[in-house]
């Protein structure tokens, strides 16, 4: 639809943040955005099943078999053919090249499970930011939505939300609380805000 920004979500695993976006679309929060494409670098990503259940187009591109350059070229063809306005990395476990992120300058966002600049950068994905937070003994962690540039977790911050670290937390319990109390809340709000901006700018 012309009055909605077209959103692609890139995933590698379970797709809990994708589900938060799907739920936001159903509830009307994403009133100026529509998820039209889900791309995965892994064919066993459960996120693909979440998308299929909602009738969202899915695409699997095997990065391991073809290499990052071929993966990115294929992504570009698919994304550009569908006139995508915004790309959301939601549990996407690949570092994209400088050429790719520059090609989509300020059109790619990511959700990171820590308060950037803490516990971020190369290697900080999955449980690792939560392990690092517990090892450091911080009392507060959280999540960050940011634009993607050539530096891992180095782009401009869009939104952050803090989450308390509790006595007896394990990396798994902390990960779950950060998802429930931060990631699943701020990512849909940030995407909705950016979609409104995209639609307004082209009207």
Which one is catalytic: 106, 112, 130, 146? 112
Residue of 133, 109, 114, 125 lying closest to 187 (CA atoms)? 109
- Look at residues 79, 57, 85 and name the one whose alpha carbon lies nearest to residue 1: 85
112 is a catalytic site residue: yes
CB 32 within 8 A of CB 195: yes
B/e letters for 43-58, b = 16+ CB within 10 Å, e = fewer, are: eebbbbebbeeeebeb
Q: How far is CA 45 from the centre of its chain?
A: 14
Catalytic residue positions, numbered: 112
């Amino acid at each position: 639809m012309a009055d909605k920004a077209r959103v692609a979500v890139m995933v590698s695993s379970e797709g809990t943040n994708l589900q938060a976006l799907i739920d936001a679309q159903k509830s009307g929060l994403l009133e100026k955005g529509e998820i039209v494409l889900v791309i995965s670098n892994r064919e066993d990503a459960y996120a693909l099943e979440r998308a299929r259940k909602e009738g969202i187009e899915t695409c699997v591109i095997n990065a391991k078999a073809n290499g990052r350059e071929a993966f990115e070229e294929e992504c570009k063809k698919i994304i550009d053919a569908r006139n995508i306005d915004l790309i959301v990395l939601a549990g996407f476990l690949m570092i994209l090249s400088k050429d790719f992120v520059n090609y989509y300058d300020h059109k790619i966002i990511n959700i990171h499970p820590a308060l950037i600049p803490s516990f971020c950068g190369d290697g900080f994905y999955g449980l690792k930011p939560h392990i690092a937070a517990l090892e450091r003994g911080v009392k507060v962690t959280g999540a960050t939505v940011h634009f993607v540039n050539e530096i891992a977790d180095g782009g401009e911050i869009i939104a952050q939300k803090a989450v308390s670290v509790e006595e007896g937390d394990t990396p798994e319990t902390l990960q779950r609380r950060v998802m429930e109390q931060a990631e699943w809340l701020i990512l849909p709000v940030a995407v909705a805000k950016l979609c409104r901006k995209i639609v307004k700018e082209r009207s």
